[in-house]
Amino acid sequence: MILIVGAEGQVGYELCRLSKENQIPFLGLTRNQLDVTNKAMIDRVLGEFEFDVLINAAAYNAVDRAEEERDVCESINSIAPENLAEFCHRKSKKIIHYSTDYVFDGESKSPYTELDPTAPLSVYGKSKLLGEQRLAASCRQHFIFRLSWVYSLRRHNFLKTIIRLASEKSKISVVDDQFGAPSFARQIARGTLECIKQMRAGSSSYGIYHMTPAGSVSWYEFTGHILKRLSERGMKVPHLEAISSSQYPSKVRRPKNSVMNSQKLLKSFGVKLGSWESGLNECFGDFEFK
């Protein structure tokens, strides 16, 4: 059985949804059912279930707010992965953990590989890197999947912000000098479940993997694609203006280049997420304009 922690988050929800659809035995635990920062609760709650793989989809993702909520951010992104990994190590379970492109500084001129040096710019990025390190040191049977620009029609994310702004504004301004691969949460969940299938078949090389769709785009260009799809559904859309990162009010420096190379994932597991465009199309297949 797969045990999914953070079952109400964007990726956690899709993991539960796809597992149910494909009749894969799973159990999803929400934040109310398991406090991942509480070691005693982890031992008590997880000890009740038989599973072979734990997926940690719980995370603190409020990048700007993390600058003021450092302790909360670090407890969820750094300490909790270690707590879960220690439990998995004691019980001889595999653990999958999601990390981020924010472990890099974004100065590379080419897509990042798993061997490139990390240099996070923010409290959030530093907390995720420390979480990687603590988890890897606590459980040998670990898989760390670094993600980028995750979105869905659930929770708070860039896509939902643009949809909201499109209904409220006549003009929106978006940065055009930060590049990455927008990742639909269902693409990530589908890829993760396929990796688990390969792990169980004996293809299990522990370590860090980049898990992103193919291609890259700027936030400005991504917004243009979102607005195009809204327009096709009959919504009046605002004028879109390109601005630089220096013009955007933010407490946090974000990586200019968040593009990651996912060839290691393909080589080890035979898994591809498809393109970022196909993910956006699939996401909008669920969209209902009200």
Residue carrying structure tokens 């979105």: 151
Nearest Cα residue to 97 out of 206, 14, 173, 237 = 206
How would DSSP label each residue in 110-133? Answer: S-B-TTSPP---SHHHHHHHHHHH
In the sheet with 94-100, reading across from the earlier edge strand, the strands are: 26-29, 2-5, 53-56, 94-100, 142-147, 207-210
Task: Work out whether the CA dihedral 245, 246, 252, 256 comes out positive or negative.
Answer: positive
Pairwise CA distance, residues 95 & 6, whole Å: 14
For 146, the 3-state DSSP assignment is strand
Per the annotation, the verdict on 209 as an active-site residue is no
| Non-local CB neighbours of 40 within 8 Å, separated by 6+ positions | none
Token pair belonging to 179: 């590049």
Token pair belonging to 181: 């691969």
Q: Given 60, 102, 124, 209, which residue is catalytic?
A: 124
Nearest Cα residue to 158 out of 131, 183, 127, 130 = 183
Active site residues: 124
